[in-house]
Each structure stands twice: as structure tokens, then as C-alpha cells.
Structure 1
Amino acid sequence: MSRTVIVVLDGFGIGAMPDAGALRPGDTSADTCGHLLDHFRRVHDRALRLPALTALGLGAVHPDPDLATPDGSPPAATGTPPVTAGRAALGYPGADTYAGHQTMMGADFSTVTVARLGDHLDTVAAALRAAGHRVEPLEEEPVLLVDGSALVHDNLEADPGINWNVSARLADLPFPRVLEVARTVRRVAPVARVIAVGGNADRPLPDFVRAGEDGTVGLDTPASGFYRNGGLQVQHLGVTLDHTRQLPDLAARAGVPVTLTGKAADILACEGAARHPAVDTTEVLRHTLDAVRGAKDALVVANVQETDLAGHQQDPRRYGLVLEQADRQLGELTASLDAPGDCLIVTGDHGNDPTIGHAFHTREFVPVLVHRPGSAPRALPDAGSLADVGATAAHCLGLPPGRLASGVPLPLTPVG
């Protein structure tokens, strides 16, 4: 057993995967990390301050002068590196937070159904009416207006057809009723995720409906003010998965206390887990620190969401400042995990390049940075899937990785 922590920097990629241009040719140039570093040097005349990520080995997997180690070593020094670091392919189609986290926890998410809401309007409307809701199309758009308040629509922030949303202003509909509508949609939806979203918008939501890519139509959530006006509530309803073959459930059944913080608390299943579904980065990582301090055994999965939100807003300055805040607390977390056998894995779930020119996730490799006291550093091979991260965490906890539905542990050196 050990204290094992996975910190997911949401939307933090380190360069385009070979198939990144399949949907958008311009995404072959995606590099969230590199473009952030370039932006701060060029626009703000300074380097991003990332000492904790640098010490964990970010420069070993993304060589850049600003990621040189504290002793001045070049970021991609030859020979045995002083860190345990590598990178991971995503292991699922597209670039999606829900699929990324489910894959990371051991689910086999190699195939998902991609579908526009417009191709399933009749089925969804019939299910909602059968549940007692009033349903009408939103003018001539392939969007449904439910009970005069909630919109059922394509998600415009993920790759087209991956997710559908149910969105409403909280002033018009309390979040439990938004969630009720979303659960009805989930029962008939063929897509990976149905997302219930409640927030405070500047104007009625139909004012912010627009066309997306590949025939999708939906709410322009960033333009609506949901992300900047406070009070945002979100719940992710995913496809049916065997959660007993995922890392949190495996750990809980072995008697390991499980804590899920940030967006991980919304999208991961684990009966009995402590949940802290915060958005604020400081709060997310404070809950993470609290879960390991004084504990003998623990599994903590934390999601830093504000990096992803800055990517959607195409705001590299905000992204960089959030990353610096996360880095400061990662330094505290690394210092707290000081016992042999403890393990910290810092990774991402996809990219979200804030300079790419669109508000979608980008299909990038993500870093896998491992801090494990008592083990010798080593360069890690590329992980073929994020599932390998979950399998590695299981190995660190002394749990059988083979009980996960997918994933192979990365070859860490033994604890001495």
C-alpha cells in the first residue's frame, strides 16, 4: 500500500499526436505546453515559472530552454535522466475529458459512438415527453427546448458528435431539474457523454445558440457567461461502464481510502469515495493535500480544470497563470509524498492549445511525470494509452493491474 496521487492537468498536452489532423488539419501544429512557453516569452517578456513541473521532468519530455533543471542541465540531457518521466498517447478517439478520465482509470474506451443530436431528435423528444416534459424544437434548429427553460444540444467544445449537453440558466431551472432532463436524455443517447450544465448567463440561452463544425448546433457556453459569472454546476453522465474494473473501485474494495477532487469528483464512479467537486485550482489541490497529509494509505485523483477552461477561452495568459498556481501547490504535494512507496503521477487527459485558433480540445500526447521516493529515476517509454497510467498507479498501490479492464503498468524501478 502507499499514498498514490494522480493529478490531471486538464487540457495540458505536449505536442500533436500523429493523427491529430484527421478532423482539423491545423491541429497537427498543436502544442499546448510549447505554445504557452513561447507566448510568455514573446508577449509577457518572461518565462513561465514552473519549478515543480521542471523538477518532475517536464523538460525531459518537452525540451525547451525554459524547462531546464534547477542545476542548469539541459531539459533533454543524454544519459540517465534525473527524473522518471515519459509521455502517453490518449488511447481513445478524439480528445475528451470524460473519455480521457475513464480510460485513465482502466476502462476500455477505444471506441465511442459519434452522433449529432440532429440525427436523433425524434427519439430524444419522445423519451422526454414520455417522462412528462414539454418539448419543442428551438425555431428551425436541431436543438430541443424542454419545459421552456432547458436546451438539449450538441456540445460545441468537444469534437463534433462526441457529447451532448443539457443546459439551463439556474434562474430559470434549478440544477436538480436540469439533471433530471439530462438523465432522461442519457437513457436514449448513443454518445459517450451527456453533460448537465447550469449557470448564470448574460441573456436568455437561445441568444447564444450557433452552428458548430460538421453540422452540429449548440449553445456557445463560453459566450453565454456561464464560465465567468460564477455559480456553475456541471454533472457528466457517461456511457455504461464496468466501474468495478476501474482503479478507484479496485482501490476502495482493497480498503484504500479514495478521494476524488475537482472534475474527477463529477465524472468518476466509486462508492464511498470522498468527493470534492471544486473548480478553483487552489481549492482542488488543497483538498488533494489534505487527503494525503497524515494518511498511511490513499488514492487521490485530482483534476485541475481551470487550465482547460482557459484553453476553451483561447486565453494563453490565463492558462499560464493557472498553471503557475498549480505548480506552486504541486511543489507542496511532492514534498508531502516523502515515504518510500508513495507515488505522484502528473499527467493530462488531452491537449487544449490556447493559441490554436478554435475552442476545441486538441489531440496531443500528454506528459507522465512520476515522483516516487526510494526508486531510481528512469526514462519511461511512451505509454500507448492513458490506461497505462491507471495500471501504474495500481501497481504502486500493490493492487493487481490485471483486474482493470485495460492498461499495462509502466516499468518503474523498484523502491530500494
Structure 2
Amino acid sequence: MSRIVILVIDGFGIGALPDAGEPRPGDAAADTLGHLLDGHRAATGHRLALPALEALGLGLAHPHPDLSRTPSLPAAAGRTALGYPGADTYAGHQTMMGADFSRVTVARLAEHRDEVATALRADGHGTELLGGRPPLVVDGRILVHDNLEADPGVNWNVSGRLEDVSFADVLRVARVVRSVAPVARVIAVGGHADAPLRTFVREGSLGTVGLDTPASGFYRNGGLAVQHLGAPLDRARRLPELAVGAGVPVTLVGKAADVLSCDAAVCCPAVSTTDVLALTLDALRRAPDTALIVSNVQETDLAGHQQEAPRYASVLQQTDTGLRALLPLLSPGDRLIVTGDHGNDPTIGHAFHTREYVPVLIHRPEATGHDRLPTAGTLADVGATAAIALGLRATALGSGTPLLRPAAGSAGVPG
């Protein structure tokens, strides 16, 4: 019997992956945590205090002069690569839950425009280029374009001005685009714009072209409608559905409630870190002897997007305080896994995610000492580790190998 808490600190990178500099060479120097620690010391003259994360082995996962390398709690600590292309919250969480996202690609719409147009015409729609530029105009009113707010090439948007078209029509077009799109997400967006949408089309990073959604007025004019259409995945082979099928109650907190969308789970959406931590603690207090809780602290990621390192550091300290309140609630057999979904270096000089390793810190209350885990190749190993702690078969997931294996008469040793 185990209660499993997976706490995802959104955008919590600990150093660039080998391919992080492709196609932005500067990202090869990304190190979200390292730069936060260095910046805090430079600004204040003392180290950033993260006692709970250090007790869980953060200094083993990221050797830094300002982090202790001796965990004070029973822990297994290491790092993992992402296991999916790009750096995206949706793909990161799906991979972590055992979905195989290795075949999802990062691509601009222009590279697949003809295929998209053919599919739309086969569904009875008219298509044309927007003045010779990459976005497609569908039925004269709906735009298919690169998403300019996420990392270039990760997502495509299908946008409609609700003065001109219903959201149902936008969604119908988005479903056709999703049927041929190789990217992680196609996002249907409808809203009230200040002028025709083509007025707000601009060039983005790395050759992308799309709607400047904030400039259009969609976010400030009210009535915004959004639906995310993820890449096809076998939900029966994700950890939440596998747990539910075995009679294990599942709670999804914060952004995890939106991104993972498991029908049988208790969903507690929230953005405020205070709310996320309070909901996580409440879910743990209410949980029976066996349960799965997946929580996402989003405000670290938001601070990264806004390139606000002091704010990121403050949210990280707030999260650390929440962990200190959570740790005494864990009993022998329970597991706390702290990790990330990608990087978001607030000092990198742009507002996009960074492709970095993320920490994996596993607390086992009944264990003694600490272990350093080998570097994992995919976030799916986190889900597989949680699965075996719940008494489930890790092989029932779509992807992933446990980082810890149970040993007879013990809590498990590094695998």
C-alpha cells in the first residue's frame, strides 16, 4: 500500500541537454537552477535557501557549490532527459505518465502546409494562402498558423474571430488539422478581436508565422474559447488510467488537471502556488492507504517565460516551504517524487522553454541513507517508478523503465 505524490515543478531545468543548442545556439548554456542560484548569490550575497529540496538530494542531481551533496532524508536522486522532442508541458506530462511521445516532431506549418490543405479540402473546406505567407485561410474566416507563444514548431493554432465564425466551426477545422499534424498539440482558439485576424499576423522566431494572439484582443475582450487537441495517445497505457483501473484513486492538481485530463480522476485546477500546495496537502490528508496524486507548480514556468529570475526564485522557495509541510504526512511505503517537465531559464534572453535535464528526487520514508540514480533517458521512467510503487506493472505503460526496483524485504534499491 502506497500513497504516491508526484510534484512537477514546471520549467525546473538543471542543465542543457546535448541537443539544447539546436536550433538556438545560446540554449546550449541553459541551466535554470544553476543560473537562479548564481543570480541570487550575486544579488543578495548569500545562497538561495532550499532546505527541503536539498534534504531530498537536489545537490546530487545538480552539483552546485550552493547545494549540499548529502541529503538528510532517505532519498534517491538523479536527473533525467526529457524523452520527447522540443520542450513542452503537454508532451512532458504525457511522457511522464507513460505515453510514448518520441515520434512527435517539432515542425513549422509551412513544412506541412500542402498536406494540411489537402486534408481540409477533402473535408469540404476552401483554403488559400494569406497573401503568399505560410498561414492558411480556411473558408475565408479561420486561420491555421504557427503558435507564436510556445516554443517554435511545438504547437499549431487554429484561430477564429467569433464575430465572423462559431467556435464549433473553428473546432471542426482544428480536428481536421489534428488528423495530419505531426506536432504535439493543435490548439483551437476563438475570441473577440479588435480587427480582422489577418491584421495581427506577424513573423515569430525561427521562421514561424502566425497570429499575435495577445495583440488581437482575444485575451482582454472576454469570451475566449480554447480547446487543446493533443497528439494521438493510448490513454489506457498512461499511469492515471492504469491506476484507476486497479482501483487506485487519482487526484490531479494545478496544471496537471488541465494537461492530463483523466475522466475518472479528481481534478483540482489552480494556478496560484499557494493554492496548488494547499490542494496537494489536502489531497494527501484525505487519501486512503493507496493513492496517486500528481501536482504541477506552474508559477515557476510563468516566471521563466517573463524572464523574472527573482520571481522564479521566490516561487521555488515557496514550493520548498510546501514540501516541508508535506514531508511529515508521508508514512513508510509512501513515495514523494519531485521532478520537472522541461527547463525555462529566466536568464536565457528569450521567453521560450529551454531543453534541459530535470531532477528526479524520490523520498522513501522507510529507507535508510541515500542513493544517486543514473541519468535516465526519458521522463517516462518517473511514471514507471510510480507504477511499481503502487503495485502496478510498469510494462503496462506505453513507455518507461522503473528507476527503482523492489527488493525482497526492503524498500527498493537503484535499478
* Coarse TM-score class (shorter-chain normalised): 0.7 to 0.9
Aligned-partner SS, 1:194: strand
Unaligned runs of 5+ in 1: 68-74
- Alpha-carbon distance between aligned partners in 2 of 1:80 and 1:283, rounded to the nearest angstrom: 28
Q: Which residue of 1 aligns with 2:27?
A: 27
Unaligned runs of 5+ in 2: none
Q: How many residues align?
A: 407
Measure how far apart 1:180 and its partner are.
4.9
Where in structure 2 are the equivalents of 1:214-233 lying within 5 Å? 214-220=206-212
Q: Which residue of 1 aligns with 2:312?
A: 319
Q: Which residue of 2 aligns with 1:96?
A: 88
Does residue 102 of structure 2 align to residue 110 of structure 1?
Answer: yes
Query: Given the superposition, is the C-alpha separation of residues 115 and 266 from structure 1 closer, same or farther in structure 2, using an over 3 Å criterion?
Result: same
Measure how far apart 1:54 and its partner are.
2.2
Measure how far apart 1:263 and its partner are.
2.4
Query: Given the superposition, is the C-alpha separation of residues 121 and 331 from structure 1 closer, same or farther in structure 2, using an over 3 Å criterion?
Result: same
Where in structure 2 are the equivalents of 1:319-398 lying within 5 Å? 319-336=312-329, 338-376=330-368, 377-398=370-391
Is the CA contact 1:8–1:348 (under 8 Å) kept in the aligned structure 2? yes
Query: Given the superposition, is the C-alpha separation of residues 366 and 139 from structure 1 closer, same or farther in structure 2, using an over 3 Å criterion?
Result: same
Q: Which moved more, 1:193-202 or 1:388-397?
A: 193-202
- Alpha-carbon distance between aligned partners in 2 of 1:27 and 1:99, rounded to the nearest angstrom: 20
TM-score (norm 2): 0.85
Q: Which residue of 1 aligns with 2:291?
A: 298
Aligned-partner SS, 1:143: strand
Counterpart amino acid of residue 331 in structure 1: R
Q: Which residue of 1 aligns with 2:41?
A: 41
- Alpha-carbon distance between aligned partners in 2 of 1:257 and 1:134, rounded to the nearest angstrom: 47
- Alpha-carbon distance between aligned partners in 1 of 2:166 and 2:285, rounded to the nearest angstrom: 36
Measure how far apart 1:361 and its partner are.
1.5
Does residue 213 of structure 2 align to residue 242 of structure 1?
Answer: no
Where in structure 2 are the equivalents of 1:126-205 lying within 5 Å? 137-144=129-136, 151-167=143-159, 179-197=171-189
Counterpart amino acid of residue 392 in structure 1: T
Q: Which moved more, 1:4-13 or 1:95-104?
A: 95-104
TM-score (norm 1): 0.85
Q: 1:307 aligns with which of 290, 300, 307?
A: 300
Measure how far apart 1:167 and its partner are.
4.5
- Alpha-carbon distance between aligned partners in 2 of 1:229 and 1:85, rounded to the nearest angstrom: 46
Does residue 274 of structure 2 align to residue 282 of structure 1?
Answer: yes
Query: Given the superposition, is the C-alpha separation of residues 334 and 151 from structure 1 closer, same or farther in structure 2, using an over 3 Å criterion?
Result: farther
Query: Given the superposition, is the C-alpha separation of residues 80 and 125 from structure 1 closer, same or farther in structure 2, using an over 3 Å criterion?
Result: same
Query: Given the superposition, is the C-alpha separation of residues 147 and 33 from structure 1 closer, same or farther in structure 2, using an over 3 Å criterion?
Result: farther
- Alpha-carbon distance between aligned partners in 1 of 2:351 and 2:267, rounded to the nearest angstrom: 29
Measure how far apart 1:279 and its partner are.
2.4
Measure how far apart 1:380 and its partner are.
1.5
Counterpart amino acid of residue 299 in structure 2: E
Identity between Structure 1 and Structure 2 (%): 68
Is the CA contact 1:252–1:270 (under 8 Å) kept in the aligned structure 2? no
Q: Which moved more, 1:385-394 or 1:82-91?
A: 82-91
Does residue 411 of structure 2 align to residue 415 of structure 1?
Answer: yes
Query: Given the superposition, is the C-alpha separation of residues 129 and 284 from structure 1 closer, same or farther in structure 2, using an over 3 Å criterion?
Result: farther
Counterpart amino acid of residue 292 in structure 1: L
Q: Which moved more, 1:143-152 or 1:397-406?
A: 143-152
